[in-house]
Amino acid sequence: MNKPTLTLIKIGGNIVDHPDALSRFLNDFHQIEGEKILVHGGGKIASELSKTMGIEPVMIDGRRVTDSETLKIVTMVYGGLINKQITAQLQTLNTNAIGISGVDGKIILAHKRNHPSIDFGYVGDIEKVDAQKIKSLIQAGFVPIFAPLTIDNKGQILNTNADTIASSLAIALSEAFQVHFYYCFEKKGLLKDINDDNSSVPHIQIGNIQSLIDDKTIVAGMIPKVHNIEMAILKGVHQVRLCHASDIFHIIQENKALGTLFTA
């Protein structure tokens, strides 16, 4: 039996931070037909709010160190302000969005990161996704909008990387759906030349990822993103595309080959 198609999109903070870009993206997202999920990152709002409260944000390798005070801020901003603004905008477009996080219904169970040399604080690494609860929401006619928060078995909220949440959701839901997974950000895909926005690599087979890391085509913050993509495909996700947020409608609704397609 053929699986139904599910479109899963992750948007980064670079979209969340710019109201006009976010509105354009949400208008495109609304027009995407069929069952869909949106995962959003946090953007700069949490850092800006931290500074106004006298808490200097601490980042290590692009990852936020989350002490108890920072956790309060990211919970308010990610799970509250950003999530509900996106949900409200989609509702005005008649997309039946429901704003949730991994905390709600214990949909995404995680544990506090145990790093050998760095204490990241209340940062979560994912253990399990309850795909059945998400499937039930979708079957009830909702479009889930996920904030990057998870929960542990003791009820502790954990700040969790949105790319990893998106990849974990895609993997968990691939048993019930043919998942088409899109990472939307501010570039037109994986670029051969970081200074040339039109130099995107059209197609990458995951077996070639390590050679692209070795030759510096994939560098810095793109490395963990691509490893998330690789894991998703290895664990059953149909396809993953890395693309500019403004291209998503053309890719999905008009079948244009924009961005970088990753396949097995």
User: What are residue 241's DSSP bridge partners?
Assistant: 182, 261
Residue 88 has a pLDDT of: 98
Domains and CATH numbers, the chain: 5-263 (3.40.1160.10)
Report the b/e string of 60-79 with b at 16+ CB within 10 A. Answer: eeebbbbeeebbbbbbebbb
Residue 220's pLDDT band (cuts 50, 70, 90): confident
* Model pLDDT for residues 95-153, shown as the tens digit of each residue: 999 999 999 999 999 999 998 888 999 999 999 999 999 999 999 999 999 999 999 99
Residue 238's pLDDT band (cuts 50, 70, 90): confident
pLDDT at 61 over 90: no
Long-range CB contact pairs, 27-34, < 8 A, 24+? 27/93, 28/246, 28/248, 28/249, 29/90, 29/95, 29/248, 30/90, 30/93, 30/94, 30/95, 31/249, 31/253, 32/7, 32/248, 32/249, 32/252, 32/253, 33/253, 34/4, 34/5, 34/6, 34/7
pTM of the entire predicted model: 0.95
Residue 224's pLDDT band (cuts 50, 70, 90): confident
Give mean pLDDT, residues 207-223: 90
